[in-house]
Structures are given as structure tokens and as C-alpha cells.
Amino acid sequence: MSLEIVILAAGQGTRMRSALPKVLHPVAGNSMLGHVIHSARKLDPQRIHVVIGHGAEVVRERLAADDLNFVLQDKQLGTGHAVAQALPFLTAENVLILYGDVPLIEVETLQRLLKKVSPEQLGLLTVTLADPTGYGRIVRDADGKVAAIVEHKDASDAEKAICEGNTGILAVPGARLADWLGRLSNNNVQGEYYLTDVIEMAVKDGLVVATEQPHDAMEVQGANDRKQLAELERHYQLREGRRLMALGVTLRDPARFDVRGEVSVGRDVLIDINVILEGRVIIEDDVVIGPNCVIKDSTLRKGVVIKANSHIEGAVLGEGSDAGPFARLRPGTVLEARAHVGNFVELKNAHLGEGAKAGHLTYLGDAEIGARTNIGAGTITCNYDGANKWKTVLGEDVFIGSNNSLVAPVDISDGATTAAGSTINQNVDKSQLAIARGRQRNVDGWKRPVKIKKD
């Protein structure tokens, strides 16, 4: 059965008190609408139609993609009116309605719902709540069959006592939609064209309304204000934490762990508190990540150890390599197996060969460093002359003394040594020692200056 998806995202979201359209507010680093689109794509629809209104241009700009058809709803006259805007584009047998501000809906739940839709049947996602205030209520007949949805504001006291609420998520046979939407009226308390009125029409037309429920009510929770946004965020994070734990990760505290992207993990990974994983992060077996680390768009191979307070972005850390505490690995950093980066070390576009070490207080930018080479404390590459960036190339088994300035472009060959405190601006050949510093002179009988007395 062919499927198209309509995502309603035209509402204003006044309670966010924000210049940003509501559906662009982030949960776990992606906009709420972005999450819905991500889940929608997994259902493999023919096309996804996004109904936009408030902040339409920004939304379109931020999320533009080939498989998305943005439909403008000039005035927000109700959910039924919103779906009607997409009608001219709909051709599929089944149409699924989703909401741009309901980001945690699970693909599995939607798949269950889609199994219910047919030319003779609608699939309606409902949720049973202790306090369904604000929700449209599911009115069932004496046989328990769905008869209608009554909006909270239009409901009688008896209807308000119903605990089964409408999530708004609905799967309908596309062939019927135009007829039903065309017959909607706005003769109700809110003066809106309610999508929910389609239910009663369908029943009167002899169709069955079959219901499904999400496993978790948070899946259908929308965010109208920043408090609800924070609740969705925490819920998302706990869900992601549980997923990783199920795959063999120990999280020292799932409540202090955040994923803002897509993470893949191996087994026996240990993640300490306050770790943020962003973008695309790949973590292999036996990796240990210490507290307060941010890791973005990086790959950590088997057995990598990242110590506390490190910031790692766009880096690949080879098997058994380690970094931190307080390491900063910037884009283009590659550590080969067992390379070691210690505290207060910054690397950018730098390649450390197997077993190479930069233990303390060092900046290596645009650098190629051979296997087993040791970089002394306080060493920096002077890679920028104010106009251009230049490369520093060190061979294998090089020993760079402490507090060196390596003035790029410069090339230091295998086995060479540089003396502590050197400013190296000439190439060094294999196994040579380079000393480039003022000679020490000791002055006898040196008189220290004395403090001048002020009257």
C-alpha cells in the first residue's frame, strides 16, 4: 500500500516566547520537526508534506530536502484546514497525519497504526491518561466502537470524564479524505475546522475506526512551552541511555548523559557522568570515557581511554590510544594505535603515529608525527605565519625536547633529537641533535636590585 505523510507544523507556539518557530526548537540537538521527519522517513513514504505557516520561510530554509513538499497554510484555521492544504498533492492510498511538535513518536508505534488502515478502516492513535484535560475525547458506542472525537472545549461533563484521549495521529484511506475534509464546518466553540470531525463522518460512511496506543505516553506528548520541551529532552535522553545500556554500555548515571546525534556502541563501554555525545559518534568495545567530556563527530576505536574534561571533535582515535584529562582534539586529529595525548594538549589537523606521545601542555596544528615520536612538554607548532598555514613533519622515533617552538614549514627526520627550549626553523636530518637556544652564561657576584624607599 502506498503511503504519504502529512506533518502539521503551521502553529505559532506563543507559549515558547521565542522568535524561533516552535517546531524548530531542539530536542537532543535536532529540531522537533527534524525528529518527526526522521521517523517519517523510516516508514518509507512516497512523499512527506509539511504544512507550514508561522515562520514558514525559516522552517523551509532549515529543513529543505528533496523528499519534502512544503505546503503553506496562510491562516491557521484548524487541523482539518491544515490537512486540506496538502490535499491537492496527495495521491497515495494511505495518508498518515503527524505533528511537528510531537517529536518522540516511535516508528514501531506508527507501523502498528499503519497496519490498521485500509479502504474500509481508519487507524487512530489514542492514549489513556489519568488527566486528559485539553485532549479531544474518544467517544465509543455501546459496543465499544469509536463513534466520534469531541474536543475538550466542546465536551459535556460526561464526555470530559472519558480518559481515552486523541493523540491527533491518524492513518486514513487517501481516497476518502477530500470528501471528508470538504464537509468540515467550523461550527464549534473554537470556530476551527477540526480534523477530528473526520472520525464521525467516517463512521457514518460505514468505515471502522481501529485504535492503537503508544507503549509510552511521552511518545505522543507535544511541547507547547519550554518546560514541556525540557521534559521531552530528559525523556529522550533516558530512552537513548537505556538503548545504549541494553547494547552493553555502563552509564554511571543515565540522568547525567546526553546524546545529540547518532551514536553506535560496542560492548563493555564505560561512560562516566556529564558526557555529551554529539553528531555521529562511533564507540567500539572497551572504550572508557571519563566525566565531563564532549565528543562530537568522532570515532573511538577499541580500548580508547578518554580522561576527564576532554573536548573531542572530528577526530579518530586508534585502538588503545588515550587522551586527557583536559585534552582538546580538534577536527582532523588522528591518533594511531596506542598514541598518547596528555593534559592541556590541543591537536588540530594532526596525525600522531602509532605509540607517539604528546604528554603535556602542547599545541600541534597541521602536523604529521611518526610512530613512537615523543613531544616534550610545552612544545608548540608555529603553523601560522599570519597569512598561511604550514605543515610540521616529524619522522619516527624523534625526540622533541621540552618547550620547543617548531616553526613550520619544518621537517625533522627519523631518530632526530631537539634540545629543550629550542626554536626549530630549519630541517633536521636523521639522528642529528638540533640545539637552537641561547647559551647559558653564569655571572659571579650578581647583586640583586633593591627596593627604592619612597618618603
Compare residues 110 and 149 and give the one whose CB is closer to ligand UD1.
Answer: 149
Query: How many CB atoms neighbour CB 90 within 10 A?
Result: 18
Closest CA to 265 of 242, 294, 293: 242
Question: Which one of residues 95, 109, 151, 211 is an interface residue with ligand UD1 (CB under 6 A)?
Answer: 151
Give the shortest CB-340-to-ligand UD1 separation in angstroms: 51
Question: Which one of residues 6, 10, 50, 371 is an interface residue with ligand UD1 (CB under 6 A)?
Answer: 10
Binding mask 212-231 for ligand UD1 (x = CB under 6 A): ----------x---------
Residues whose CB is less than 8 angstroms from the CB of residue 84 and which lie 6 or more positions away in sequence, other chains included: 181, 182, 184, 193
- Positions in 41-100 near ligand UD1 (CB under 6 A): 51, 73, 76-79, 81-82, 99-100
Cis peptide before 254 (omega within 30 of 0): no
Give the shortest CB-326-to-ligand UD1 separation in angstroms: 44
Compare residues 224 and 427 and give the one whose CB is closer to ligand UD1.
Answer: 224
- Helical (H) or strand (E) element with 149: strand 146-150
Whole-angstrom distance, CA of residue 100 vs CA of residue 8? 6
Give the shortest CB-162-to-ligand UD1 separation in angstroms: 11
> Do residues 420 and 402 lie in contact, with contact meaning Cβ atoms separated by under 8 Å?
yes
Which triple of cell numbers denotes residue 350? 594532526
Give the shortest CB-210-to-ligand UD1 separation in angstroms: 17
Single-letter amino acid code for the residue at 350? A
Would you count residue 174 as binding ligand UD1 (CB under 6 A)? Answer: no
Give the shortest CB-368-to-ligand UD1 separation in angstroms: 52
Single-letter amino acid code for the residue at 361? L
Compare residues 166 and 299 and give the one whose CB is closer to ligand UD1.
Answer: 166
Single-letter amino acid code for the residue at 146? V
Compare residues 151 and 346 and give the one whose CB is closer to ligand UD1.
Answer: 151
Whole-angstrom distance, CA of residue 101 vs CA of residue 29? 15
**What phi-psi label fits residue 158: left (phi over 0), alpha (psi between -120 and 50 degrees) or beta?**
alpha
Q: How far, CA to CA in Å, does 429 sit from each of 186, 187, 415?
A: 85, 88, 9
Which triple of cell numbers denotes residue 400? 622533541
Whole-angstrom distance, CA of residue 300 vs CA of residue 428? 34
Question: Which one of residues 55, 165, 318, 355 is an interface residue with ligand UD1 (CB under 6 A)?
Answer: 165
> How many residues interact with ligand UD1 (rule CB under 6 A)?
27
Would you count residue 136 as binding ligand UD1 (CB under 6 A)? Answer: yes
Does residue 360 carry a catalytic annotation?
Answer: yes
Question: Which one of residues 4, 101, 278, 336 is an interface residue with ligand UD1 (CB under 6 A)?
Answer: 101
Question: Which one of residues 34, 103, 168, 415 is an interface residue with ligand UD1 (CB under 6 A)?
Answer: 168
Give the shortest CB-219-to-ligand UD1 separation in angstroms: 12
Whole-angstrom distance, CA of residue 319 vs CA of residue 172? 52
Catalytic residue among 54, 152, 235, 360: 360
Residues that bind ligand UD1 (CB under 6 A): 8-11, 51, 73, 76-79, 81-82, 99-101, 135-136, 149, 151, 165-168, 194-196, 222
Catalytic sites, residue numbers: 360
